[in-house]
Amino acid sequence: MSLLKKIIKFLLLAFLITLLHILAVSLFPYPLNHINVAVSLLLLIFIITNKEGVIWLAVLVGILLEIFASVTYGINLISLVVSLIFTNWLSMNTFTHRSVHMVFITGIIGTVMYRLIFSTLIFFVSVLNQTDFYLFKGNLLADMGLEILLTGSTLFIFYIISIRLLSYLRSDYLSENRRIKL
C-alpha cells in the first residue's frame, strides 16, 4: 500500500510540474514566459531532498513534456535528464557548500547544460535529416541567455522560500548539517 501511495504521489508530482511549466509558457508575459519551470523545480527538489529518486521524476516529467515538444522525440527528455544528472554530480562533488549563492550558480549551470545538450542534439538530428538549424540567427542566443538567467533566479527564489517554510515546519531542520549559510 505504501508503495502504491509512493507511485501515486510520484505521478501526481510529475503531472503538477508539467502543468506548471505549461502554465508559465502559456500565461506569463514576456520575458517571464522564458522561465524553464520544469528545470528549476526539478533542481529545487534535487537540492532539498538529495535523493536519487528525483532523477526518475525527471524522466517522467521529460516524457510528459515530450507531448508538447516541437523537436524530435527524445531530445527534450535526454537534455532534461542528462543536465540534471550533471548538475547533481556537480552539487555532490564541486558545489558541496550549500549556500544560496551556490544554488543560484547551480541553477545557471543546470540550464546552460540543458540548452547546450538540447542544441547539440538538434544539430546532430538536423545533420542526419539534412535540414537546417540556425543557432546564430535572430534573437535565439539572447532568448537562451534570458532563459538561463531567469531560471537561475527562479530557483534561487524558490529555494529561499522553501527553506524558510521548511524551517518553520520541521524542527529538525536547524541541525548543523542543514543550516543555510548566507
* Residue 125: HSE in the Cβ half-sphere, 13 Å Cα cutoff: 14
Q: Please, what is the minimum distance in Å from the beta carbon of residue 165 to another protein?
A: 26
Binding site residues, another protein, CB under 8 A: 15, 18-19, 21-27, 29, 33-36, 38, 52, 55-56, 59, 63-71, 73-74, 76-78, 81-82, 85, 88-89, 92-93, 132-134, 137-140, 143-144, 147
Q: Please, what is the minimum distance in Å from the beta carbon of residue 139 to another protein?
A: 6
Complex with another protein: residue 33 or 167, whichever CB lies closer: 33
Q: Please, what is the minimum distance in Å from the beta carbon of residue 30 to another protein?
A: 8
In the block, cell 538549424 appears at 133
Whether the Cβ atoms of residue 144 and residue 111 lie closer than 8 Å to each other: no
Q: Please, what is the minimum distance in Å from the beta carbon of residue 113 to another protein?
A: 15
Complex with another protein: residue 9 or 164, whichever CB lies closer: 9
